[in-house]
Amino acid sequence: MSLEHAILGFLNYEPMTGYELKKIFDQSIKHFWPAKQSHIYRVLPQMEEKGWLTVEVIQQDTRPARKVYHLTERGRAELQAWLAADQPPSETRLAWLIQLFFAGQLSDEVVLGLLEHQASLIRHRLQRLGGIPAESSQQMDGSETPRDRFYWMLTVDYGVASAIAQLRWLEEVIARIRRSQYELPTIG
């Protein structure tokens, strides 16, 4: 998934500023596609050059001008084409799994600390995911449909299911290390 296509998706609902785009990223899809404010502001001019959006500059008396981005027909066509296209598999890069891969060189206490830290992060992620339904109800201007919300919440459901599976796996590994049970796991 590209940042540009996520931006197109949000602008398909309503025009927004870069600040509003960052806010909606954080309230809706951050659990699987976080975006930094600087990245959003960097791609917006590129998207305008491609003809995918236009910018409306609104002068303000006491603050800098507001730039409101509007989706063009060309941008809408790009979004529709991207939405219907098969996506390549994504890579998973988890630094803590590299640590775990080489953890045979560490004491069990250190490894347990690393794994317990990961379990704590996942528990925190589950709490955040639980708050998304309330946040998402405040996202848009009301132009979204119940069908839109259904698909939005499927991504939350995926996040919850993934986090629960990861947490269960971590808890089992922690228990096995505590029992000094170093046999290879059975796959399948």
Sequence spans of domains, the chain: 3-84, 95-178
Residue 183 has pLDDT above 80, yes or no: no
Q: How far is CA 162 from CA 129, 173, 186, in A?
A: 11, 17, 20
Q: What pLDDT was estimated at residue 181?
A: 78
CATH topology for 3-84 is Arc Repressor Mutant, subunit A (1.10.10)
The stretch 18-44 carries a mean pLDDT of 92
DSSP state, 140? Answer: S
The stretch 173-185 carries a mean pLDDT of 85
10: phi > 0 → left, psi -120 to 50 → alpha, else beta; which? alpha
The stretch 134-145 carries a mean pLDDT of 61
Output phi, psi for 55, to 5 deg: -120, 135
Q: Which residues contact 70 (CB under 8 A, 6 or more apart)?
A: 11, 15, 53, 54, 55, 56
Query: How far apart, in whole angstroms, are the C-alpha atoms of residue 162 and residue 143?
Result: 30
The model scores a pTM over 0.85: no
